[in-house]
Structure 1
């Protein structure tokens, strides 16, 4: 197996993405190590907010939210998951597992921001982030979740099954075009190119192809036992928990109410379904999502 590093030339002149690079060495397992890239914007002593991306995006997804959150007084931290963005990419699809992604993200969190933090999570950012909240609820001040869930088996939707099969078998797996199709607003050519930038060839797409098959949506899959255990802490999480989901997301758009109904801190919160908002909500409604984070953190007393 090869650990692939990013080509800086492919990330030159990205629109609205003028952020400093930060790196952390991660123990990937089986004797391998790799570098995780992340953004760290704002004063180091400001209240931290995690911005966790999903599949097949990267921290570029948060370029429109970060300035709004900085103006509100946050320190914004957005990692590129291993296999995505500027982070290193094992080229073996079978090397990626749910538990390994959790381990990699925990290593990053423990090293960079071990203290209490707010969380915004979407897609796989939620499968990872919500699990962390469930396992260590005292380390989170509040949560805003969008277009995500913490699944524990059952029967997957036809839309998800189609996506899983496409990611596994499609010979033409163009990431930028996927982002274009899963937003309600139009992406520019430069934005599409930015989402293609981390994936110059087929080996670099191993993590992106692996993720859909790792979602534990069917009984007996790896991750169900751990997620069931995490749900005990997540359901009892009594700090402010807000859901803001996209009306135009055919895969996860209907899960917001289900998620909110199971979490104590979600009671009485102003949950919303956002119109003209697809799966990648950060592209379609960044202002509304950032304001949701700000309002939720203020309710938690985490920022002034």
Structure 2
């Protein structure tokens, strides 16, 4: 498999992202070394908030939330998943599987030995992150699920997802900035769109972004269906605080918060929120508000 890295000059003009880059080396399942980039802001000894992005974004997605957390005295860590942002990318789409994404994300947590984490996860950040919570609950103190789910393919996906899946494969121009705008309620600035596009100089860097939509389990016999069913069984035993913050304008996951609240014991009695006028990319439409909710949740308020 061919590993490529986005040239650093692509990130020099990214605005509203004043965070020092950090890197850690992990190993693929076959032993291949991979470099992952992450943001790490705030006091080293403070409670850690781990933020996982999804499709087709990178840690830039959390730029509005990180300052809110650090102002509250918390430590904010936001990695770029393999294939995204400043992290290493495989050029071949076949390198990307659901299982490998979960393994890479856990390798990141283990490499930094992160514990007592508060997880914020959205979109694929939840498909990966909720698996991590289920399989490694000892690492997590609490969870915030925002516009995400853990599909098994046993129930039909919304029709909007089928349209997104088709577009992700057929659209000749696959702009991360345009996609984030399409599924956000508020307008994005030109600079923000450019920030999302920065990791992808051309189509050869977009293998992970093109493949992600096809990895979502949409049938009961998908390779990830059974692992996700097992994860649901484990999440049914997760009693640490579990909060849902969803947008009422999200075409993919709106209403899914009720399933999480019903099936995960830690969700009982929590101050769940549905934010009005907020689309799929809640970090764009209500980033500062999500940051304040998260900071209060970590502080136990």
- Same fold flag (TM > 0.5): yes
Contact kept, 8 Å, 2:14 with 2:198, in 1: the verdict is no
Contact kept, 8 Å, 1:241 with 1:296, in 2: the verdict is no
Question: How far apart in 2 are the matches of 1:151 and 1:93?
Answer: 21
Question: How far apart in 1 are the matches of 2:29 and 2:240?
Answer: 34
Question: How far apart in 2 are the matches of 1:138 and 1:40?
Answer: 21
Deviation at 1:31, TM superposition (A): 5.2
Structure 1 match to 2:69: 69
Question: How far apart in 1 are the matches of 2:133 and 2:30?
Answer: 27
Q: Any idea what the Cα deviations from partners look like across 1:117-140, whole Å, max 9, x if unmatched?
A: 111100000011111111122221
Map of 1:5-16 to 2, 5 A cutoff? 5-16=5-16
Q: Any idea what the Cα deviations from partners look like across 1:63-108, whole Å, max 9, x if unmatched?
A: 1100110111211110000000111110111110011001111111
**Where in structure 1 are there 5+ consecutive unaligned residues?**
none
User: CA 1:172–1:268 in structure 2 vs 1: closer, same or farther (change >3 Å)?
Assistant: same
Question: How far apart in 1 are the matches of 2:153 and 2:78?
Answer: 29
Deviation at 1:252, TM superposition (A): 1.1
Deviation at 1:265, TM superposition (A): 0.9
Structure 2 match to 1:88: 88
Question: How far apart in 2 are the matches of 1:33 and 1:96?
Answer: 15
Question: How far apart in 1 are the matches of 2:145 and 2:29?
Answer: 29
Q: TM-score, normalised by structure 2?
A: 0.96
Deviation at 1:217, TM superposition (A): 2.6
Question: How far apart in 2 are the matches of 1:54 and 1:44?
Answer: 26
Structure 2 match to 1:131: 131
Deviation at 1:227, TM superposition (A): 1.3
Tell whether 2:277 aligns with 1:284: no
Map of 1:188-267 to 2, 5 A cutoff? 188-267=189-268
- The number of equivalent residue pairs is 300
Question: How far apart in 1 are the matches of 2:206 and 2:133?
Answer: 28
Contact kept, 8 Å, 2:54 with 2:122, in 1: the verdict is yes
Structure 1 match to 2:42: 42
Alpha carbon RMSD of aligned pairs, Å?
Answer: 1.3
Q: Provide the secondary structure at the position in 2 that maps to 1:253.
A: coil
**Where in structure 2 are there 5+ consecutive unaligned residues?**
none
Deviation at 1:4, TM superposition (A): 0.9
Question: How far apart in 2 are the matches of 1:213 and 1:142?
Answer: 29
Q: Provide the secondary structure at the position in 2 that maps to 1:289.
A: helix
Q: TM-score, normalised by structure 1?
A: 0.95
Deviation at 1:222, TM superposition (A): 1.2
Question: How far apart in 2 are the matches of 1:55 and 1:212?
Answer: 8
Q: Any idea what the Cα deviations from partners look like across 1:197-243, whole Å, max 9, x if unmatched?
A: 11111110000011011111311001111111111221221111111
